[in-house]
Structure 1
Amino acid sequence: MAILRSPVFIICLVLFIIHQVMQKGMNMHHPFMDSYLDNLVAMPVILTLLLAERQWLFKKGNTYRLPALDIALATLYIILITEILFPLFSEKFTGDWVDAICYALGSLLFYFTINKISSTTRTTSSEHT
């Protein structure tokens, strides 16, 4: 699955893992990263995995890309759950509009990098069909 080898996906995933290890495993904290890094890199990771699922499981092919509406709805869904519903049901969670902006920025990063169909992808896929 070529989509899982996207440099942006790999960077976001590695940043998330390193931050979690530092924060939870090594008890190292950085206020800005603790507040916003995971939210920023979450959507590129989630949306890439969703795209890979559709390409592979639903056999849409390597040239399939998520429509902008699907990306927007997934982003709104994550924001609704994490920033509105979770805080309603647990005091451990706090809704923060800056988190919502980070989720949206992460989705834009996905849309303009990972989800973009390059001219080489179109050429390669059309040669095989």
Structure 2
Amino acid sequence: MKRLFYILGISGLSWLMVHLARWSGHPLPWLNGHLTDLIVVPLIAQACLVVVQRWIVKRSDYLLPLGYVLFIACYVAVVFEWIMPRYSPRYTGDWLDVAAYFAGAAGYYGWQHWPVALHGTNGEGYR
């Protein structure tokens, strides 16, 4: 449960910082464009993990497999960098955003599975 608060807390505060800066008319140059892209996949993955842990597998030690986390990154990249720019000028296709999605996915997966590797426990999706 502490992991949920760390991910949501850090990501939420980062998101709030970026958006407060935007709303005040002082966007943070690099962070404005890529920090939100970096944290979106971990936020979605954590929300999925909570749903799966509580209502599907009913195990608090279940972790998302790498394929699930990569699917989330691919889905977000396709929707927001390929499909949405075709329909709205608000969205722009940017390869750096795609890189940020996958960096966020890698960071999330590594952070979630680090204690598993540290303690030497085997088992896909479980710690």
TM-score (norm 2): 0.83
| C-alpha RMSD of the superposition | 2.2
Residue 110 of structure 1 is matched in structure 2 by 108
More RCO (CA 8 Å, sep 6+): 1
Residue 18 of structure 1 is matched in structure 2 by 17
The Cα of 1:53 is off from its aligned counterpart by 1.2
The Cα of 1:2 is off from its aligned counterpart by 4.0
The Cα of 1:10 is off from its aligned counterpart by 2.2
SS at match of 2:39: helix
List structure 1 segments (4+ residues) > 2 angstroms apart after TM superposition: 7-10, 117-123
Residue 124 of structure 2 is matched in structure 1 by none
- Kindly provide the CA deviation profile for residues 9-32 of structure 1, in whole angstroms up to 9, marking residues without a partner as x: 4212211122112212x2221221
Residue 127 of structure 1 is matched in structure 2 by none
The total of aligned residue pairs comes to 120
- Kindly provide the CA deviation profile for residues 16-65 of structure 1, in whole angstroms up to 9, marking residues without a partner as x: 122112212x2221221111110011111111111111111224311100
Distance 1:84 1:39, change over 3 A: same
Instruction: Give the AA of the match of 1:44.
Output: P
**Percent identity (aligned):** 22
